[in-house]
């Protein structure tokens, strides 16, 4: 709710800035952990704990002055969360299917990228660099995608994104040497670009329980990432990396029809009818 309040009418731009923080952290993470393991070994990575605690304290101090609770508490709701959930059930089902279809490519190219690079003969350090490059470009993708969707439209932007990702994945499988990094950078620009747009769509729903609706979306997002990670791992063990990556690319294409039927805005009268 906080980022929705401070975004004003440009929700796509606000979601882009919000997602930028997450993607920037994922960029630095592989570099930091590779360096830590190299210096101290896996058992010595506990030395990074103070940095995490310090970051949490810093965020608390910066955000503690933003008051969004009062407007939320003074809203007189006519219907409970259960009614909201049932009214939005078709929307949530489409969103879940979309999250699964895009989640396979995202999981394959993040969680399993270092393992894939190692299978191709890359060093431990180079595998971490490839993941960092992907995440770094993904941070830029999240900045621009939300802003572009404010002007172009959410669904049109998503269709373009999901049409380009499979194409880049096929190129990645054939890439070698420095060209691999270049393709991963291009892929990262689109791989994470859908997240702020979907988040903007969810936050544009005219609901009496916006925090609840946003919570459902977050639950869908985290659940699909967990499930797709398990499925991708099983597929890799059964069919190998290349076949799994090809299947992931194809599944991303199947997300486009779901984007077409995904409503960009849902009015309250539809929710409570």
pLDDT at residue 181, as a whole number: 93
pLDDT at residue 86, as a whole number: 86
Question: Does 143 fall in a domain?
Answer: yes
Mean pLDDT of all residues in 111-130? 89
Question: Could you list the residue range(s) of the whole structural domain that residue 180 is in?
Answer: 9-272
Backbone φ/ψ region at 240: left (φ over 0), alpha (ψ -120 to 50), beta: left
Kindly report which listed range (14-23, 197-206, 235-244) carries the lowest average pLDDT score.
Answer: 14-23
pLDDT digits (tens, 9 = 90+) for 97-118: 999 998 999 999 988 998 999 9
Residue 187 CA to residue 180 CA, distance in Å, equals 10
The CATH number given to whatever domain includes residue 47 is 1.20.1250.20
**Confidence check: pLDDT of 252 > 60:** yes
Choose the weakest-confidence range: 21-30, 128-137, 213-222.
21-30
Tokens read off for 246: 């090809």
Q: What is the DSSP string of 116-150?
A: HHHHTT--HHHHHHHHHHHHHHHHHHHHHHHHHHH
In a domain, residue 225? The reply is yes
Q: Which of the pair, 33 or 153, is modelled with greater confidence?
A: 153
**2: CB partners within 8 A, 6+ apart:** 63, 66, 68
Average pLDDT, rounded, for the chain: 82
Residue 80: inside a domain? yes
Residue pair 120/180 in contact (Cβ under 8 Å)? The answer is no
Of 81, 135, 79, 103, give the one whose Cα is nearest residue 225: 103
| Residue 2 domain flag | no
CA 95/CA 195 separation, integer angstroms: 12
Confidence grade of residue 73 (pLDDT, cut at 50, 70, 90): very low
Q: What is the mean pLDDT of residues 43-55?
A: 87
Quote the number of domains for the chain: 1
* Of 76, 102, 99, 34, the residue nearest 252 (C-alpha): 102
Give start and end residues of each alpha helix (H) in the chain.
2-7, 11-40, 49-63, 69-73, 81-87, 89-108, 113-119, 124-152, 154-174, 178-191, 194-203, 210-239, 241-253, 255-261, 268-272
pLDDT > 60? residue 230: yes
Distance CA 188, CA 169 (A): 10
Residues 181-190 pLDDT 10s? 999 999 999 9
Can you tell me the mean pLDDT for 233-237?
A: 95
Handedness of CA 37, 230, 140, 16 (dihedral sign): negative
């Amino acid at each position: 709710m906080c980022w929705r309040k401070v975004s004003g009418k440009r929700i796509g731009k606000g979601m882009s800035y919000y997602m930028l923080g997450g993607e920037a952290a994922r960029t630095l993470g592989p570099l930091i952990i590779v360096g830590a393991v190299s210096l101290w070994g896996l058992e010595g990575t506990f030395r990074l704990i103070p940095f995490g605690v310090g970051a949490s304290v810093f965020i608390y101090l910066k955000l503690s002055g933003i008051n969004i609770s009062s407007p939320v508490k003074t809203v007189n709701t006519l219907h409970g969360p259960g009614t909201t959930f049932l009214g939005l059930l078709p929307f949530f089902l489409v969103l879940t299917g979309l999250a699964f279809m895009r989640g396979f490519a995202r999981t394959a190219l993040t969680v399993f990228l270092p393992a894939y690079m190692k299978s191709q003969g890359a060093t431990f350090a180079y595998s971490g660099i490839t993941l960092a490059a992907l995440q770094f470009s993904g941070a830029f993708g999240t900045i621009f995608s939300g802003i572009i969707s404010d002007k172009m439209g959410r669904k049109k932007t998503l269709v373009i994104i999901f049409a380009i990702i499979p194409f880049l994945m096929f190129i990645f499988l054939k890439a070698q040497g420095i060209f691999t990094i270049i393709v991963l950078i291009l892929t990262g620009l689109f791989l994470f670009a859908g997240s702020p747009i979907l988040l903007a769509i969810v936050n544009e729903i005219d609901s009496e329980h916006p925090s609840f609706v946003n919570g459902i979306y977050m639950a869908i997002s985290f659940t699909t990432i967990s499930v797709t990670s398990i499925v991708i791992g099983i597929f890799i063990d059964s069919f190998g990396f290349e076949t799994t990556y090809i299947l992931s690319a194809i599944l991303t294409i199947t997300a486009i029809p779901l984007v077409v039927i995904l409503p960009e805005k849902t009015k309250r009268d539809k929710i409570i009818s």
